[in-house]
Structure 1
Amino acid sequence: MADVEHTIGLLLGTEDDWPRAYEALLRRLGVVTGPDGRSHRAISERVTIEPFNLRYRPRHELVIDRLAYWYYHPREWLKKIALMDDVYLLNSPFTFQSMEKHAAYCAMMRLGLKVPETVLVPYKNPLDNSRYAYTAARYNQAFDLDATAAQVGYPMFMKPYDGGAWVGVSRIRNPAELHAAYDASGERLMHLQAAVEGYDVFARSLTIGPETMVMRFRPEQPMHSRYEVDHNFLSADVGDEVVTISRLVNAFFRWEFNSCESLVRGTDVHPIDYANACPDVAVTSLHYYFPWAMSALLRWTVFCVVTGRKPRLDTDTSRYFAIGDDPSLSYAEKLAGYRKLADEYFETERYEEFCARHLARVDEIVYEWVTSEEFRSLLRETVRATYPVHEHEKFLGHFGGLIEAWVRDNKRS
């Protein structure tokens, strides 16, 4: 039987570090023997933006999208290849057109997660639309911002309903700050969301397919120091709940490359942000955790193309809501039900068996690559492209030390 070649498209914006890493690891992986007994090779190519006929047949079997959340032309290309050609996409363009948080809050509230109290307020300034004045005069109700804020309680956060990267987010401690932030919001549609005061841990989990890494996150630090290397900052039960919530969100919305932020207070997990169309996987952010992210992305994409995993654009929300709406189930029982549905969607058991039988070399390949001159060159070039000249030596030492820590912790026997 002839070898099978699979093409994986990379739809990219400005980033170059992790794509180079992924491309290098895919080359090193080479041929994989699939469950069908045939030899499979996955290759990647960077997708270019150009006119496309709606009836053309793409050569890609899978696309990793990091661009279409803001660039509409490739977004429509993704919709076309998903609807007409069954190309596998890690994030569904139908539920993830932008980093829009509102629907995610609503869905997870109905499912019973401990989302802080949240209110959506109208635009402060009129939209640039000729029909706005008439509609607003006839239908927009006057409202008392202070009374609305009282429903939420101080302190709170004002944040864009569709925002990302902490842009436009304000911590509100009193009415004066409330009005100042609302006046500054302009034409941005904003949520008011209760703060989780006195939380113990800010956890950020990155999930790729059925794999999740939960990391201790320090948002007050500069980006190179936000992910703290700490392997025991959550109890086993709380850590498992964070993982379950992350995978639930992804399975529910058909997102397979996404990050989730949660505040942990005692034994309560409060998810506060879990819709990220372009989760951070830069080596200068993840550092110690970067090799894991590349390993997981390699395993999941190869599994999908080699096994012929089919996209499921139908979200089947009724199965989740049947659990969430059942008053006889405890919170723990609901989480267990959601985890079962998520594992079913991601074919977790089949995936783990596939990795054990056909991708057992991945950890060794990644270790050898991280300890190679090729990786050191990538790290040097990324640091030089990211930081000013006078900081190069400092950050090469900083990230080099963190990578060396990963190497020690993952040393091959």
Structure 2
Amino acid sequence: MKNSKKIGILFGKENTFPQAFIDKVNELANGKFIAEAVKINKAVQGEATDYAVIIDRISQDVPFYRAYLKNAALNGTAVINNPFWWSADEKFFNNCLATKIGVEVPKTVILPSYQLPDDTSEESFRNLAYPLDWESIFDYVKFPAYMKPFAGGGWKSVYRLENKEDFFDKHKETAQLVMLLQEEIVFEEYYRCYCIGGKYVKIMPYEPRNPFHLRYSANFNPSEELYKKLENDVLTLNQYLGYDFNTVELAVRNGVPYAIDFCNPAPDADRNSVGEENFNWVVEYAAKFALEKASAFEPGKDNLTWGKYLQSAVAMQALK
């Protein structure tokens, strides 16, 4: 490792969070560590980077960056979030895991893409029954329902469906996207929650039915009991998935929180959308956790975070 005293942030179009993060790290570090925007002038196999820690805000959109970060992690950099797990994860698995760890999620099924993927033919799908058992699927999920990409981000290609005719009509529009069909949770309260380091949680009232710029202007106020349940679910999900930086969205129906979306490893942290209070919190705790990772850094070792799901799988293999 060339310089274990450096903390970098890798980012794209966003403007407010990266510089605020850099400034906060440098303020809290008292000269022990230096934070800066990551600079890449070459990426050579097996060579270490200049950074003890890199916080990743963009590699989901830039495959070159993802490959760079995997090599950096191999050589000891603590990448936030773990680029290997992030590459493997998607929303359907998230839901599947939630059913095993006691977190409520909407009834959900995954659907093959409407159009054949490139470089495939009907012969590629000889193991897929056609037509699918649509009536059983619809009876399980029920309508109204939501359809959204199993690996997508934000609100792109998200549909609210009234009935099966509406489903078949809208599914045609999804082309080669693999979609989730998901039960609608008609909620009384809704929360979007930052989770950093698997231990710091910020529960934010959120109204997804509002225009985008007003979604954090919500008046939901959880009881002490509900707050603890929200916090526990957020921590449980992130500790099992192994995300250092993520958001979890929870819709509360009849007093029960349902995890709606919790695969957001580069979540919105823009001052103009999340608001001043939430922005200050996420900057503070992202910087705090990055410094914790830098302080715990061991040169040449694996400094990534691995979730309990993978940890338990490895432990079971070791016992065989």
TM-score by length of 1: 0.69
Find the counterpart in structure 2 of residue 95 from structure 1: 85
Unaligned runs of 5+ in 1: 32-39, 322-413
1:207 partner SS? strand
Q: Deviations over 1:32-60 (max 9, x none)?
A: xxxxxxxx522122223443111222110
Which of 64, 72, 90 is matched with 1:73 structurally?
Answer: 64
Number of matched residues? Answer: 305
Find the counterpart in structure 2 of residue 194 from structure 1: 183
Find the counterpart in structure 2 of residue 391 from structure 1: none
Alignment of 1:173-188 (within 5 A): 173-188=162-177
Which of 146, 159, 173 is matched with 1:170 structurally?
Answer: 159
Find the counterpart in structure 1 of residue 110 from structure 2: 120
Which of 199, 222, 231 is matched with 1:243 structurally?
Answer: 231
Contact 1:8 1:62 in 2 (8 A): yes
Taking the aligned partners of 2:279 and 2:248, their CA distance within structure 1 comes to 17
Answer yes or no: is 1:262 the counterpart of 2:261: no
Contact 1:154 1:195 in 2 (8 A): yes
Answer yes or no: is 1:295 the counterpart of 2:287: no
Amino acid in the other structure paired with 1:121:
L
Higher relative contact order (CA 8 A, sep 6+): 2
TM-score by length of 2: 0.88
Task: Decide whether aligned partners of structure 1 residues 47 and 26 sit closer, same or farther in structure 2, where only a CA change above 3 A counts.
Answer: same
Q: In proportion to residue count, which structure has more helix?
A: 1
Taking the aligned partners of 2:87 and 2:311, their CA distance within structure 1 comes to 23
Find the counterpart in structure 2 of residue 253 from structure 1: 241
Taking the aligned partners of 1:152 and 1:229, their CA distance within structure 2 comes to 28
Q: Deviations over 1:209-243 (max 9, x none)?
A: 2211101111122222111265x711112111111
Alignment of 1:340-355 (within 5 A): none
Contact 1:205 1:259 in 2 (8 A): yes
1:48 partner SS? coil
Contact 1:207 1:213 in 2 (8 A): yes
Unaligned runs of 5+ in 2: 314-320
Which of 302, 306, 311 is matched with 2:303 structurally?
Answer: 311
Aligned-residue CA RMSD (Å) = 2.2
How far did residue 320 of structure 1 move?
A: 6.6
| Larger-gyration structure (1/2) | 1
Contact 1:98 1:162 in 2 (8 A): no
Taking the aligned partners of 1:127 and 1:307, their CA distance within structure 2 comes to 44
Answer yes or no: is 1:226 the counterpart of 2:225: no
- Greater mean alpha carbon deviation, residues 153-162 or residues 242-251: 242-251
Q: Deviations over 1:313-368 (max 9, x none)?
A: 554427779xxxxxxxxxxxxxxxxxxxxxxxxxxxxxxxxxxxxxxxxxxxxxxx
Find the counterpart in structure 1 of residue 141 from structure 2: 152
Find the counterpart in structure 2 of residue 390 from structure 1: none
